[in-house]
Amino acid sequence: MSGPLQDITVVDLSRALAGPHAAMMLGDMGARVIKVETPGTGDDTRGWGPPFVGPEDEPISTYFLAANRNKESITLDLKSDDGRAVLTRLVERADVLIENFRPGVLDRLGFPVERLHELNPRLVVLAISGFGHDGPQGGRAGYDQIAQGEAGLMSVTGPDADSPQRVGVPIGDLLAGMYGAFGVVSALHERHTTGTGRVVRTSLLAAVVGSHAMHGTGYTVAGHVARAQGNHHPSISPYGLFHCADGDVQVACGAESLWVRLAEGFGIDPTTPGMATNRERIAHRDQVAATLNEAFASWRLDDLLPRLAELGIPSGEVRTIDRVYDWDQTRSQGLVIEVDHPVLGQIEIPGPPIRFDDNAFAGGRETHLAPPTLGQHDASIRAWLDSEDPA
C-alpha cells in the first residue's frame, strides 16, 4: 500500500453509489477498503446496465466498475451468526465504517452506533441517508433523481422554468460521497487529538442543498427564486453556449474587459445599448445571444476556438464522452488508468481526480486495484482476521 491513508482500514457496508463513491475516494488515497457484499447478488449495481462486459453467463456491470476501484470484496450474510461474527471482527480492526442503509437498519442487524463504539472506540462511522437520519422525513428512502427533484436542483436545470431536468450524472449520490469522504478525513484528523472516533452524517438532500451556491443565498438573502435558464449563466453575460457554422461553442466572459475584447474582436460595438454592462446584458440576454450567434455564424469551430484563445476569451467545445477519454489532456492528468481485472484482464477505467505534487500518478497510491469480483477476497480477508486475532 502507499498514499496518505495507507494506515487506514475501511469497512464498506454501502451499496449503489453514494457510499461506494466515498469509500473509493478513501481507497484512492491508499486506504485498505474491504467491501462487504450480500452473498449471491452483491452490490445492487452489479446488476445495473447496460452496458455490460465480459462473459454472457456472468456479465460485469460497467456501473459497478465506476464506483469500486481500489477495494477488496468479502461476502457476508449479516442476518447469520457467521456474518455478524465476521463483521464484528472487521469492526474491531477498522478505522472507518461506511453505511448507507435506511436509518435504523444497521441497528436492527445488531450494530447500532453504541455497539460499534463499544467494539472500537476509535471507529469513525460515515452514515449516508436519503433525507437525513432525523427530522420529519428522516426515515425516508432516497434515490438520486428523487433527491435532485426534492432538493431543488431540477428546478434550476433544463431549457426553461417549465421543463425541469435531472443532471445527466447521479450528482446527488456523487456529492454525498464527496462530502462524506471529506467528513471522514476530518474525523480521522480529530481522532489524533481525542483518541476517539465519531459519527459523520450526510445525505442526498444535504449534498444537493450544499451545492446550491448562489441560488441558495439568492433566496435566503434576497428572496429571489431561481429558475432554469438553459445553457446560460443567470448572473453573467455572455456566459454560455453559442452556435457557429458547424457546431456549438461555449464562451465565458466573467469580466467587463473580456466582453470588450470579445466584442471588438468580432466587430461588435461593446457599448451598444442593452449590452454595455453586465447588468444590461443580463436584462437583454436574447439580444446578446443573437448578436454573438450572428458573429460566429460564418466561423468553423476549428477556426473559432483559436481566434477566441488569441483574444484571451475563455472558451471551449462540447465534447462527447468518448472524445473526453480519448483527449490527450484528459490522459495527461491521470484521469484514465489501467488495471488488471481478474475476469476482463487489462482494462482502462476512469482514474482519481486528485494528484499530488511529488508524483505523476493519479491518486495517492502508486498502483490501483481493479474493482473486485463478488467475494474475490473471501478467503484472504478471513485469513487476515485469523492471523490478527489476539493469542
What gap in Å lies between CA 379 and CA 384, rounded to an integer?
9
Residue 371: name the closest of 69, 4, 53, 79 by CA. Answer: 69
What gap in Å lies between CA 339 and CA 346, rounded to an integer?
6
What gap in Å lies between CA 286 and CA 22, rounded to an integer?
42
Dig out the grid coordinates for 294 from the structure. 450572428
Instruction: Provide the CB-side half-sphere exposure for 229 (13 A, CA).
Output: 18
**Residue 53: CB partners within 8 Å, gap ≥ 6?**
59, 60, 62, 344
Active site residue 107: no
Beta strands at 239-244 and 247-252: parallel, antiparallel or unpaired: antiparallel
The active-site residue out of 28, 43, 95, 173 is: 173
Q: Give CA separation, 299 vs 232, 245, 270, in Å.
A: 21, 5, 20
Q: Give CA separation, 103 vs 137, 170, 196, 277, 314, in Å.
A: 11, 21, 23, 51, 46
Please tell me whether residue 44 adopts helix, strand or coil conformation: helix
Cβ-based burial of 223 (10 A; exposed 0-12, middle 13-18, buried ≥19): exposed
Nearest 5 degrees, angle CA 51-CA 52-CA 53? 125
What gap in Å lies between CA 64 and CA 17, rounded to an integer?
9
Task: Give residue 54's region: left, alpha or beta (phi > 0; psi -120 to 50).
Answer: left
Dig out the grid coordinates for 199 from the structure. 459519527
Query: Which residues have a catalytic role annotated?
Result: 173
